[in-house]
Structure 1
Amino acid sequence: MTTLRIQLLGTPQVYVDGEVTALDRRKSLAILAYLAVTGRVLGRDSLAALFWPDSDQTRARMSLRRALSSLNQMIGHHHIQASQDAVELVASPALHVDVAEFHRLCADRDAAASLQQAIALYHGDFMAGFSLTDAPDFDIWQSQQSEQLHMLLLRALQRLAQLQQAAGDHAGMADTARRWVE
């Protein structure tokens, strides 16, 4: 089974078995990101409408089918499960999504090491430099995700500074506070 690592904090990157994989379509990357972050089964019709809002349902579903086929060729057929009506990114030990890891690490608010790892994962805003001009609802979702993740980063930095202060790590606290105000 191939490993799939999806990096969405900062410039989006997809790694298959440790190698950067360039997806041949921007919408393929957007679909992969959407599936990875939502983490649930999504209806084909809703995905088609989200990514091809100006197309009729038949054309939009055909475009989605092509994008999913392209994705499967690039990342391996076992990562995406699709039926006639639904699509999902299959959770497995071979799948690593930095956003999910960031959330998991930030949830451990009393462990400085976890917060430091979370902060280190944050390479920049969510999907920095990426947009789909012909899918405005996706762009809105992307912007909302970016804001939420940035707020989570700020809370992690604040909490880490508190933990460092309580532990007497004034140098670490100063570094964390500096990053917080940047």
Structure 2
Amino acid sequence: MADTKQRILNAARELFAEQGVQRTSLREIAERLGISKPALYYHFASRDDLLRSIMKPLLDDAQAFVDQQEETQRDAPSGMDKRALLEGYFDFHYRHRRDVRLLLQELTTLSDLGLVELVIAWRRRVATLLIGPNPTLAEATKATIALGGLQDCTIEFAEVPQEELRKVSVDAAWGALGLEVIPPDENHSGHPVV
């Protein structure tokens, strides 16, 4: 049962990526899998239900990531390790890059389902961790460029090994934020800190 549901999700993800959500019918998904349309309806009531199910792991993981980062900040007496936050943000997007690409391709459809607003809200929470709750316009735009750029790099350079891409992408985001860098030999972690 769970295997059939996962097969449906995988086939739908492929078809949505190939031809778009609105141009993909449930019949096409069923045909690709060699199952009946009623069998597909047993697992998913509608195309919107199917799309929400595809996005659910990304949204759940995003919520968990932001919650954990906020908890880390509350518990860190010396302040947030912003480099670690950017690396975690990169890793999250790298892990979910197929669904992030689908999200970007289907902004209108996903916005109609209320999913884009969720993504924007948790990205604002990450930006607040980086630049504080009352940033200037310059600080806010730097955070938007840094976070958006990290996300885009995981899609644009998907063929680059994760470790290599993480380093150059996080370095670029760090530079976009304009954070002061303390050389690695002046801190214990080896990472620049602010």
So what's the TM-score if we normalise by structure 1? 0.33
Higher helix share: 2
Higher relative contact order (CA 8 A, sep 6+): 1
